[in-house]
Structure 1
Amino acid sequence: MKDRKFAVIDVETTGGGISGNRLTEICIVLLQGSEILDKYTTLINPEKIIPNYITSLTGIDNELLEDAPKFHEVADAIEEFTKGAVFVAHNVNFDYNVLRNEFKALGRNFTRKKLCTVRLSRKLIPGLFSYSLGKLCSSINIPLNNRHRAEGDTDATVILFQRLLDLDEGGEVLSSFLHPHSKNATLPPHLSAEQIEDLPETPGIYLFKDKQHEIIYAGKAKNIKKRVWSHFYDKKTKEYQLGQETSYIDFETTGNELLALLLESDYIRKKYPKFNRAQKRPTYTYQIINYRNQRGIIQLAIGRTKQIHDSAATFYNRALAQEMLEKLCENFNLCPKYCTLQSNVSQCSHYRIRNCEGVCDGSESVEDYNAKVEAAITSLKNEKETYVIKEKGRHKDEQAFVLIKEGRYYGYGFVDAEVQIQNFHDYEPFLKLQESTFHTHQIISSYLRKKGTDNVIRFNEVLMAG
């Protein structure tokens, strides 16, 4: 490594996320091996207002930058100074991406090999409580003056990097990090490469966790390892911030995408991870309800509620509920007035449904009419099927299943191939109970629309208690 050039760099910015960040200051120290060759430092006019919180952190304000050169005026000098050198920084992806975006805005490419002193420190100085620049310097007695200014932070990073070079006597660690096929430079600073390598290449869910092991993101994937890697190649601000806060990755294999979707939904609903979009569900559900009016007639109506009750039928928008109510009215010769399809009329006069048999004008008895309503309600309940969706398990000798009981998601499980399943009740010992929600309803409905019913086993009788 003695002949290799390194450009140790720190930048200060306006803040505002990776894509909105503009440079306000840069410092570059050029090394050959561990020997310092030269230093370049300059303020940069970002051509935008500096937020107050940035000024309070760095001391850099609009007045200080008023006469500073704009980036296009220093771009050639920065490119020339770093040419042929490895780009070294503490949390390298931040500095590198901000600088590369500045060049990109000029229509120019900026590509350098990268080394992260956070990741190198975790490898060569393991076991420290924190690897932030301030706490790391304090732990190993590196002077850090003029904190949160480019030159002060770069000078400290240079000393840190020199010590890391001394610790890596044979250069094996640096060589592995700089290997063309190494993904170390892409990984977030607090995440070990071993965690990624241990991820399976099968369907399931993955959980990004912070240093307190709190879940900050839950995702599903057909290939867990490939999907996790894709987060770190994404240069969007949200993905960068997710990487910065991720210290651990956990996973759960499912063997199939359907279960992965259901488990992902369950984690998001229960844990509210900060980097997941909140699951939006309808404010209300719509249910076909029934009650007896003053004449003793059983009336049907659409009830709106925030809870999913065990009604004759539940819908997630009013139009579907209305459509079903009209269908019942027509199929069972019910009265539109007493199905709440018409109001403020003495007897029904629906524009389309005209097969009322006269309960509204007294020509049909209440008893006969109620018998038809009860038959209609029974037909609704009979439409709430009980069935199992069979899917691939986590290995070739296992089968996964999703159980729907009377139209509602009931849970999932895994069954070894050698277990004989003959009826609905046989699934009970393997079932993990789950909550039915708007999202599980949508996931299962979408699955059946796309896949059809080839993997579905229906049951006429529910043998399971409860």
Structure 2
Amino acid sequence: MHSQLFAIIDVETTGGGIAGNRITEICIALLKNGEVVDKYTTLVNPERDIPQHITALTGIDNEMVADAPRFIEVAERIESFTKDTIFVAHNVSFDYNVIRGEFRLLGQHYNRKKLCTVRLSRKLIPGLLSYSLGRLCSSINIPHLNQHRAEGDVDATVILFQRLLSLDEDLSVINTFLNPLSKQATLPPHLPAEQIEELPEEAGIYLFKNQKHKVIYAGKAKNIKKRVLSHFYDKKTKEYHLGQETHFIDYELTGNELLALLVESEHIRKHYPKYNRAQKWPATTYQIISYENQRGVIQLALGKTKVLHDSVSTFYNRTEATEKLEEICEIFKLCPRFCALQSSSEKCSHYRIKNCEGICEETETVEEYNLKVQAAIQSLKENNLSFAIQGKGRTEGEIAFALVVDGQYRGFGFFDRSDSICTIEDYEPFMKLQQASYHTHAIIRSHLKKNGERNLVYFEKPLQLANHRINTMKKSALTDSKEDVFAHWGETL
């Protein structure tokens, strides 16, 4: 192995995503038996403008590369110079993928075994605060002249790699990193392999965190370890940048996919991770609300909000909410004007609802009308079922649950199979409260649509109507059966 040829490489580029990153300068030093035996360096015309912020960092501007060779003119030299070598770089995925991308533009395939000096340094020189090339060189007294230029960075990386070779005399660590089964070169440079090894192959959520422990991505999976690794094998620009920023991975077991979805949604709402797209924007909800006007009349109205508040009832599209408002207005003989179904302040004149009993003309007393409104409100509340969705827990003897109370998701938890759980109150000591949202509602609706009433536990509520004047027929016309409400949850997905 000591006679193995290593190519220590650094490239400077135009910046941007991997797909659009073009080389402006490249330096390659060949190392054999621990000594530099050859070096090649050149500016490269990227055939596009170099952004000002890149010039400010590297000092390479458009004028410097105007007469430099294009990559197509140096490709053969790079190919032959690195033939039979192991590709070594500080944060190897960046340099390697940029060079592969240049060859791909020429219709050629470039493939080398590779080593990352960031990952090797973390393994062989543990405990440093930073493993960026500049700070690493400063920490272990390596001269690093002409930073952010290809040759200056290569010269510093050569000395670093020589130090690493001296710390790994039998090359056991390097051989492990070169083993294709270890996937070491594929992992993000700042993420210790031990964190990957410790990930469970079970259902739950995982959190990618940056150097400051800020959550930058939240995901869910049936198999956490397999899903996390899939991010690092993905060659898309977004996944690459995600890997570059990831320093830590946390996870939380949920036992089943439903809870994984709900917990993932909560983390996205709470942390607003940089690399999550779905669920970041709160969806609009529509709520039937009640309030008392100056006459003391209880009015109903449709409220539009992106945050769930306490209300008479909540809906997830405007048509559904309006239809329900019209339905209770008709059944309980309420006034369309005082149910926000008519904008004018004159006598009600709704196109369909004609059974107002005169509150808008003051021929019906406020007290009588309010009793009907209270009965309508009570009926709507009773229409919201309470139930628990039970499922597989994190261990053999555990049951997981998601709790819905009065039609709203309240939280999740776990209890032992030996626990006696019968009422809503029994669940509360085991429950972690969560915030309901459009997304949690959609997750539960989807689950019900897919799985039916399997593993559902309903909680009965006593029928309490405030208005003794509403007869049983009218009450039953509004208050759906369990089957009707269940169908509603499933069909409105």
The normalised TM-score by structure 1 is 0.92
Deviation at 1:313, TM superposition (A): 1.0
Q: % of aligned pairs identical? A: 65
Cα distance change, pair 230–339 in 1 and its aligned pair in 2 (3 A): same
Alpha-carbon distance, 1:122 to partner: 1.5
- Distance change (3 Å), C-alpha of 1:204 and 1:307: closer
* SS of aligned partner of 2:218: strand
Contact 1:2–1:34 (Cα < 8 Å) also in 2:
yes
Superposed CA deviations along residues 128-160 of structure 1, whole A, max 9, x for unmatched, are: 232221222223332222211111111221222
> Which runs of structure 2 are paired with 1:146-165 in the superposition (5 Å)?
146-165=146-165
Aligned pairs, number: 461
Contact 1:88 1:115 in 2 (8 A): yes
The answer to whether the Cα contact below 8 Å between 1:2 and 1:32 also exists between their aligned partners in 2 is yes
Q: Does 1:405 align with 2:440?
A: no
Question: For 1:359 and 1:138, how far apart are their aligned partners in 2?
Answer: 82
Deviates more, 1:438-447 or 1:171-180: 438-447
Which digits, 9 at most, give the CA deviation of each residue in 1:171-229, with x for residues without a partner? 21111111121210001111111110110011111122233333332221111101111
Does 1:216 find its partner at 2:210?
no
Q: CA deviation at 1:246?
A: 1.8
Q: Which residue number in structure 2 is paired with residue 280 of structure 1?
A: 281
3-state SS, counterpart of residue 98 of structure 1: helix
Partner of residue 341, structure 1: 341
Give distance in 2, aligned partners of 1:454 and 1:113.
52
Query: CA 1:20–1:348 in structure 2 vs 1: closer, same or farther (change >3 Å)?
Result: same
Q: Which moved more, 1:22-31 or 1:361-370?
A: 361-370
Could you tell me whether the CA contact under 8 Å between 1:6 and 1:33 is conserved in 2?
A: no
Deviation at 1:372, TM superposition (A): 3.6
What CA deviation, in whole Å up to 9, does each residue of 1:410-429 have, x standing for no partner?
A: 22110111112222222122
Give me the whole-angstrom Cα distance separating, in 2, the residues matched to 1:269 and 1:368.
44
Equivalent position of 2:474 in the other structure: none
1:97 positional shift: 0.8
- Compute the displacement of 1:5 (Å): 2.0
d(CA) in 1 for partners of 2:448, 2:120: 49
In the TM superposition, residue 236 of structure 1 has moved relative to its aligned partner by: 2.5
Say if 1:204 and 1:251, in contact at 8 Å, map to a contact too.
yes
Q: Which residue of 1 aligns with 2:491?
A: none
- In structure 2, the CA distance between the partners of 1:364 and 1:45, relative to structure 1 (3 Å rule), is same
- Work out whether 1:86 is the aligned partner of 2:69: no
Match in the other structure for 1:265: 265
Unaligned runs of 5+ in 1: none
Report SS of the residue matched to 2:45: coil
Counterpart-to-counterpart distance in 2, 1:166 and 1:294: 86
* Correspondence 1:130 to 2:120: no
Aligned counterpart, 2:201: 201
Q: Does 1:310 align with 2:310?
A: yes
Aligned to 2:459: 459
Displacement of 1:53:
1.6
1:290-439 superposed matches below 5 A: 290-292=290-292, 298-305=298-305, 307-344=307-344, 346-356=346-356, 369-439=369-439
Distance 1:296 1:427, change over 3 A: closer
- Give the aligned residue type for 1:319: T
Pick closer, same or farther for the CA change 1:296–1:420 going to 2, 3 Å: closer
Q: Which runs of 5+ in 2 are unaligned?
A: 463-493
What is the alpha-carbon distance in structure 2 between the residues aligned to residue 159 and residue 292 of structure 1?
78
2:77 equivalent to 1:106: no
Q: Over aligned residues, Cα RMSD in angstroms?
A: 2.4
**Contact 1:86-1:113 within 8 A present in 2 as well:** yes
Letter in 2 for 1:264: E
Q: How many Å separate the matches in 2 of 1:369 and 1:34? A: 93
Please give the alpha-carbon distance, in whole angstroms, between the structure 2 residues aligned to 1:293 and 1:189: 63
Question: How far does residue 385 in structure 1 lie from its aligned partner after superposition?
Answer: 1.5
Map of 1:222-241 to 2, 5 A cutoff? 222-241=222-241
CA spacing shift, 1:35–1:366, aligned 2, 3 Å: closer
Give the letter aligned to residue 456 of structure 1. Answer: L
Q: TM-score, normalised by structure 2?
A: 0.87
Report the more deviating stretch, 171-180 or 265-274.
265-274
Deviates further, 300-309 or 11-20 = 300-309
Distance 1:289 1:124, change over 3 A: closer
Deviation at 1:364, TM superposition (A): 6.6
Over 3 Å counting, the alpha-carbon distance change for 1:60 and 1:330 in structure 2 is: same
